[in-house]
Chains A and B, each alone.
Chain A
Amino acid sequence: MSGTYAIETTGLSKAYGRVLAVDSVSLQVVPGEIYGFVGLNGAGKTTTIRALLGMIRPTAGSVGMLGHTVTPGARGPWHRVGHLVEKPAAYPELTVRENLEIARRLHAVSSAHAVSRVVERMGLTSEADRRAGVLSTGNLQRLALARALLHEPELLILDEPANGLDPAGVVEIRQLLVALARDQGVTVFMSSHILPEVGRLATRVGIIHKGRLLEEFDARRLEEVQALRLEVETRDLRAAAAVLTDAGYAVSWQSGEGKIVLREPRAVNAPDEVATLLVNKGTAPMRLAIVHEDLEGHFLRLTGGSQ
């Protein structure tokens, strides 16, 4: 197993009976990057993450992490890895501080101040002595993130880390993860179905759908992989759509959206011709804009828009 990558999977597959939850996923995560693992619910994100953490035995393929081969039950590089899998969980009868104290001891963190530090860092100071069973979903998520960060790992594997957080919390966690990667070189592997969030945060994106890794790209190439479209707004959309259709354009228009969308290169590369056509036919455009599809649009196009 190569030690070059923080995470490396080779042909990773996991079947439950006849259902193939993960299908031949091969990915590499370079140290220091934030890898956004994007997919719809049920796409195979959590199963992949469980396989990465040795919680399930792959049906085929292998997982390497920080130079170790991961096998369920075997010693792994777990003192260097922080994780959050699926819904956050904590012992309900224990306080936030006690839950973290258990994690501190199990990770053999010698500093007794580690708990207080992470409590403060995650904004849980006012909740520290409350029982976990009475925490809000957002604070439970913060507790789970605090547990993942407690031992200052060099690799974070986070399954939907923004779940349950309010908008301010989402921004806060985003800034925290970016700072960890930038300032401390922490590698972050995070799954999400909140696509704009991944777009703002990740340095690389992998898209998984129905168990298969459909695409991987550098987030800096996001604009390149995202298709362009021409958006047209006129006072009479129905008439404009008819004019464009008559001229042979493939028109995408829904009355509720208030705009016509043209995706073909003929339109995107020559918006002036579209404008001239509409003016000549008496349906002058109020607005013409070439727009990058957002990550969500890219994702839906890639997956055929299927749920």
Chain B
Amino acid sequence: MNAFLAAFWAELLKARRSRVFLLTLVALSIVPVVSGLFMFILQDPDRALAMGLITAKAQIIAGTADWPTFFQVILLGIAIGGAIVFAFIATWVFGREFADRTAKELLALPVQRHTIVAAKFALISIWILTLILVVFVIGLAVGRGVDLPGWSAMLAWSSLGSLMFIAVLTYMLIPAVALVASAGRGYLPPLAWAVLTIVLAQIAGITGWGDWFPWYVPALVASLGEPHAQAVPLHSYVLVLAAFVAGAAGTFAWWQSADQTR
């Protein structure tokens, strides 16, 4: 336990001293801010037109400007934006050790390598949890600022629950990014992987195979609140779990056994 705490302390210090945390916070905060902007436009398109927020030709999204719709837009935004931002976090946490050539300092230590990897995953989970909570609080502030109707405490709690659930599902896809960052020894391979999975998820969604593609499942869950949404089948969750287990096991095994030449 002491070894894990030492490794976690080290990871936390690196994250605190880096600007990456702030960068990811700003990036993900765009979701509630833009969602609030949509609500503002939806409330009164003529006012938005007069203020220059939209042009006469703009396609206004369907729906009503209220808290349920607002939360729904945030959920969808996090399902997509989270995939990018969370992958970016994992890329930095794992890939930076190779980009900065510091990985070799983590290999011949009294602290076992799997403990180092576990500490990195723990940091990522706390990082993501913090981001989600901050995004939710910003969302509450933006929704209040826009003066949306339809507020209830129960709606807020259930939306937070859905947000957490989507975040957990997205987090479960992150170990694969960590594995690609480790095996690829840097930043570019995991970022390429993240882009690839996002593109493939879009294709899977359009072609109707989204429930069989783990990287599309968070978006499926996020759209549950929409009219005519169908329940997410069990096999989708199983596939996300399988991606998590494969990614995590692969990352641990790679750090444990692969030749470390950088």
Which residues from chain A sit less than 8 Å from chain B, CB to CB? 50, 53-57, 72-73, 75-76, 78-79, 81, 83, 85-87, 89-94, 98, 101-103, 105-108, 147
Contacts and interface: CB of A to CB of B under 8 A. Distances in A.
Q: Which of B18, B104, B108: most chain A Cβ within 10 A?
A: B108
Contacts of B108: 53-55, 76, 78, 81, 83
30 contacts: A50-B260, A50-B261, A54-B108, A55-B259, A57-B257, A72-B256, A73-B112, A73-B113, A73-B255, A73-B257, A79-B110, A83-B108, A86-B101, A86-B104, A90-B100, A91-B14, A91-B17, A91-B100, A93-B17, A93-B18, A94-B13, A94-B14, A94-B17, A98-B13, A106-B7, A106-B10, A108-B3, A108-B6, A108-B110, A147-B105
Contacts of A83: 108
Contacts of B3: 108
A243 B128 CA distance: 84
Contacts of A78: 108-110
A274 B18 CA distance: 72
Interface string B37-76: 0000000000000000000000000000000000000000
B104 A107 contact: no
B110 A55 contact: no
A81 B108 CA distance: 8
Given A57-B257, A72-B256, 13 more contacts: A54-B108, A55-B104, A55-B108, A56-B259, A72-B259, A75-B112, A89-B100, A89-B104, A91-B100, A91-B102, A105-B9, A108-B110, A147-B105
Interface of B: 2-3, 6-7, 9-10, 13-14, 17-18, 100-102, 104-113, 255-257, 259-261
A108 B260 CA distance: 24
Contacts of B106: 106
A107 B108 CA distance: 10
Given A94-B17, A105-B6, A55 B105 contact: no
Contacts of B111: 106, 108
Contacts of B13: 94, 98, 101-102
Nearest to A147: B105
Contacts of A76: 108
A56 B14 contact: no
Contacts of A103: 105
A91 B255 CA distance: 19
Contacts of A75: 112
A50 B9 CA distance: 27
B101 to A, nearest CB: 4
A239 to B, nearest CB: 56
Contacts of B100: 89-92
Q: Which of B7, B17, B104, B257: most chain A Cβ within 10 A?
A: B104
A89 B255 CA distance: 19
Contacts of B18: 93
Contacts of A107: 109-110
Contacts of B105: 89, 103, 147
A93 B18 CA distance: 6
Contacts of B261: 50, 55-56
B169 to A, nearest CB: 31
A212 B112 CA distance: 32
A102 B10 contact: yes
Nearest to B252: A73
B260 A56 contact: yes
B20 to A, nearest CB: 9
A54 B104 CA distance: 10
A95 to B, nearest CB: 9
A109 B170 CA distance: 38
A56 to B, nearest CB: 4
A98 B257 contact: no
Nearest to B111: A106
Contacts of A108: 2-3, 6, 110-111
Nearest to B19: A93
Contacts of B256: 72-73
Contacts of B260: 50, 55-56, 72
Nearest to A93: B17
Contact of B259 (A57, A81, A98, A101): A57
A106 B107 CA distance: 11
A92 B9 CA distance: 17
A87 B101 contact: yes
A83 B10 CA distance: 19
Contacts of B10: 102, 105-106
Contacts of B259: 55-57, 72
Nearest to A53: B108
Contacts of B104: 55, 85-86, 89
A141 B5 CA distance: 28
B93 to A, nearest CB: 12
Nearest to B104: A85
A213 B105 CA distance: 27
A104 B7 CA distance: 11
A238 B105 CA distance: 57
A147 B256 CA distance: 23
Contacts of B110: 78-79, 106-108
